[in-house]
């Protein structure tokens, strides 16, 4: 089988996807350990039987709706390539907005000690650490999933960020005395038992489901910030959770509650100042 024939084979198998040829090329380039451009300059070169078998297996996984990020163990976030494996949530583009909002607060309020609940693959803390390399920030990030923490660890090594400490712990239970200036989280916020599209079934349930109503973990995070005197909180949330957050925080004597929207104009997160 030549490179060109392999691409055509993959394109046919993945015809139901939005960009079958692109995905076929990404998977073939991954198997051959070459950049995609190589495929075009060597389209008549034969691939060996092992490469062909490997490629066909990956195409089959993609036909079965497994996200391409898990197959290639790569995901792009905020212009950087992160490691990802199927124990951690695949970072979503809307989380880049949380990073921008948090980055502005770090800058304008001179935050130094930052906590993150639910670090996943580490994209939020790592991107902020990269954006503020000139400051002596410290990040303390928790997750209840050892697989997610493994992803975060690999990415911390990849980007050489020594100022991010990881904890296998729920919420902020790892360090009950430390003062934090800012608390960040993109927690699970989908209602338990929601039927999800097939690709989401490859992602870890503990990264998706937030309780019977969906907003339970968000509420708990807000209470933790209040109890721990953390002055600023930035969280991502579901597009339909604004009213719930407003009602929950009504009697908490906040200095400020603001919501931000995603690129589709949907409510996607909030900023709290205590």
Q: Contact residues for ligand SAM (CB under 6 A)?
A: 88-89, 91, 95, 117-121, 123-124, 142-145, 148, 170-171, 186-188, 206-207, 217
Element (H, E) at 9: helix 3-13
- Two structure tokens written together for 68: 């391409």
Cβ proximity to ligand SAM: between 20 and 170 the closer is 170
Cβ proximity to ligand SAM: between 9 and 259 the closer is 259
Cβ proximity to ligand SAM: between 72 and 206 the closer is 206
**Which residue pairs from 25-34 have beta carbons closer than 8 angstroms and sit at least 24 positions apart in sequence?**
26/68, 26/72, 27/55, 27/58, 27/59, 27/62, 27/68, 27/71, 27/72, 28/3, 28/55, 30/58, 30/71, 30/72, 31/55, 31/58, 32/3
Cβ proximity to ligand SAM: between 14 and 207 the closer is 207
Report the nearest approach of ligand SAM to the CB of residue 272 (Å): 18
Distance CA 271, CA 169 (A): 24
Report the nearest approach of ligand SAM to the CB of residue 233 (Å): 15
Q: What's CA 64's distance to the chain center, in Å? A: 22
Cβ proximity to ligand SAM: between 113 and 206 the closer is 206
Distance CA 102, CA 108 (A): 10
Report the nearest approach of ligand SAM to the CB of residue 42 (Å): 36
Report the nearest approach of ligand SAM to the CB of residue 24 (Å): 27
Maximum separation of any 2 CA atoms in the chain, in Å: 69
Report the nearest approach of ligand SAM to the CB of residue 85 (Å): 12
Element (H, E) at 117: strand 113-117
Sheet of strand 164-168, all strands in order from the earlier edge strand to the far edge: 164-168, 138-143, 113-117, 182-185, 232-236, 267-273, 256-261
How many CA atoms within 13 Å lie on the side-chain side of 188?
27
Q: Residue 269 pairs with which residues in a beta bridge? A: 236, 260
Cβ proximity to ligand SAM: between 25 and 69 the closer is 69
Cβ proximity to ligand SAM: between 24 and 186 the closer is 186
Report the nearest approach of ligand SAM to the CB of residue 65 (Å): 20
Report the nearest approach of ligand SAM to the CB of residue 237 (Å): 11
């Amino acid at each position: 089988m030549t490179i060109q024939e392999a691409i055509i084979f993959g394109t046919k198998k993945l015809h139901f996807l939005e960009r079958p040829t692109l995905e076929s090329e990404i998977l073939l380039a991954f198997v051959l350990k070459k950049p995609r451009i190589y495929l075009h300059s060597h389209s008549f070169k034969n691939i060996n039987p092992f490469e062909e078998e490997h490629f066909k297996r990956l195409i089959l996984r993609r036909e079965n709706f497994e996200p391409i990020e898990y197959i290639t163990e790569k995901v792009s976030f905020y212009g950087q390539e992160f490691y990802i494996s199927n124990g951690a949530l695949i970072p979503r583009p809307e989380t880049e907005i949380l990073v921008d909002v948090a980055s502005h607060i770090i800058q304008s309020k001179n935050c130094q000690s930052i906590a993150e609940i639910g670090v996943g693959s580490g994209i939020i803390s790592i991107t902020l650490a990269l954006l503020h390399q000139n400051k002596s920030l410290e990040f303390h990030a928790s997750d209840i999933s050892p697989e997610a923490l493994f992803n975060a660890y690999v990415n911390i090594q990849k980007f050489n960020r020594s100022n991010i400490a990881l904890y296998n712990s729920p919420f902020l239970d790892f360090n009950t005395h430390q003062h934090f200036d800012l608390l960040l989280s993109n927690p699970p916020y989908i209602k338990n038992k929601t039927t999800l599209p097939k690709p989401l079934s490859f992602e870890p349930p503990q990264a998706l489901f937030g309780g019977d109503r969906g907003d339970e973990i968000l509420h708990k995070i807000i209470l933790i910030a209040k109890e721990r005197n953390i002055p600023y909180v930035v969280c991502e949330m579901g597009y339909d959770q604004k009213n719930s957050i407003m009602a929950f925080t009504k009697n908490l004597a906040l200095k400020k509650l603001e919501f931000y929207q995603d690129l589709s104009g949907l409510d996607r997160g909030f900023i709290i100042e205590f």
